[in-house]
Amino acid sequence: MTAAFVTAADHRFGRGSAGDEVIRFVADARARYGDVGGEVNPEAAERLVRAVYEEVDIDDIDAETMGRAQLVMLTALVADERYDGESLDAFLAKARSLADEWTG
């Protein structure tokens, strides 16, 4: 899931995105997913997104908080892209390739 999250966040925000773009995105994603979104720590989610494209310390974010934030943000990122079958396959292949790089 982390590789898919990183792939999607990098595609959406890339290098040089403004912090306020991330803040708006996280707020919108949390609002879209009701109670589940409300359980996402906004500060942690913003840091996780920013860590994809800049040096941000995320070592203090526990696994449960990270997993919840990544799942909700990934869901919103993929929904926003409105992938068709071919582009979804390409996205998943890119995420899988990244995961393979990380695991050796």
Mean pLDDT, range 59-73, rounded to an integer: 97
User: In Å, how far are 6, 40, 91 from 82, measured between CA atoms?
Assistant: 17, 23, 12
Residue-level pLDDT at 15: 74
DSSP 33: T
Residue-level pLDDT at 19: 82
Contact between 40 and 72 (Cβ < 8 Å): yes
Mean pLDDT, range 79-93, rounded to an integer: 96
Computed over every residue of the chain, the mean pLDDT equals 95
Residue-level pLDDT at 104: 84
pLDDT tens digit string along 8-52? 999 999 876 778 899 999 999 999 999 999 999 999 999 999 999
Contact between 39 and 68 (Cβ < 8 Å): yes
Residue-level pLDDT at 11: 94
pTM value surpassing 0.85: yes
Select from 18, 19, 15, 40 the least CA-distant residue to 29: 40
Contact between 25 and 42 (Cβ < 8 Å): no
